[in-house]
Amino acid sequence: MSIDIPQLMDYLRSQALKKKVVNKKSKNIISFHKAFLDSIKYTGRLFEIGLIADYKARTLKLLQDITIAPKMFLKGKLPLKPELVKDKKQLREIFKNKTT
Is there a contact between 49 and 79 (Cβ–Cβ < 8 Å)? Answer: yes
Q: What is the mean pLDDT of residues 5-18?
A: 86
> Quick one: pLDDT at residue 56?
94
Is there a contact between 100 and 37 (Cβ–Cβ < 8 Å)? Answer: yes
49 CB-contact burial (10 Å; exposed 0-12 / middle 13-18 / buried 19+): middle
Q: Give dist(CA 8, CA 6) in Å, integer.
A: 5
Q: In terms of residue numbers, what domain contains 26?
A: 5-96
Q: pTM for the complete prediction?
A: 0.70
Domain count, the chain: 1
Digit-coded pLDDT (tens) for 18-70: 898 888 888 898 899 889 999 999 888 899 889 999 999 999 988 888 888 88
Residue 20 is classified by DSSP as: T
